[in-house]
Structure 1
Amino acid sequence: MKSIKTFAAVIALSVVSFGSFAQTVTATGATIDSAEAKIAAQAQQAGTSYRIIEANSNNGVHMTAQLIK
């Protein structure tokens, strides 16, 4: 039983630790390229790479990305 509690604690701490590295940023622009350029600039300023997780184009582009260390 003690090993199950220890395993659960390790899993919980791993999830918390992983979540602290991920940061979400957003940008808007007239085109997909302009919104992505803003995301790229934010990632470069933070010294990270990025992964686009959402883009919406209704009368402009709104983009969300996750910064990855």
Structure 2
Amino acid sequence: MNTIKTFAAVMTLSLLPFAGFAQTVTATGTTLDGAEAKIAAQAQETGASYKVTEAYFNNGVHMTAELTK
């Protein structure tokens, strides 16, 4: 039983560097391209890549993305 707990703790700690950087950012704009350009600029500033997770249009564009190293 103690071995299982130790193994679980080691596995959890080994995942921390990957989960430690994931950051969510948002941007607004008048077009999808404009909002994505703002997300791309934020990603470039931190040296990260990005994945758009949400975008909607309602009198403007609101976009959410996740930055990852």
Secondary structure (helix, strand or coil) at the match of 2:20 reads: helix
TM-score by length of 1: 0.88
| Alpha-carbon distance between aligned partners in 2 of 1:10 and 1:53, rounded to the nearest angstrom | 30
Give the fraction of aligned pairs with identical amino acids, expressed as a percent: 68
User: Aligned runs of 1:1-69 on 2, under 5 Å?
Assistant: 1-69=1-69
Q: Deviations over 1:22-44 (max 9, x none)?
A: 01111000010000000000001
Secondary structure (helix, strand or coil) at the match of 2:28 reads: strand
Deviation (angstroms), 1:15: 4.1
| Alpha-carbon distance between aligned partners in 1 of 2:5 and 2:53, rounded to the nearest angstrom | 34
List alignment gaps of at least 5 residues for structure 2.
none
Aligned residues: CA RMSD: 1.3
1:47 alignment partner AA:
G
TM-score by length of 2: 0.88
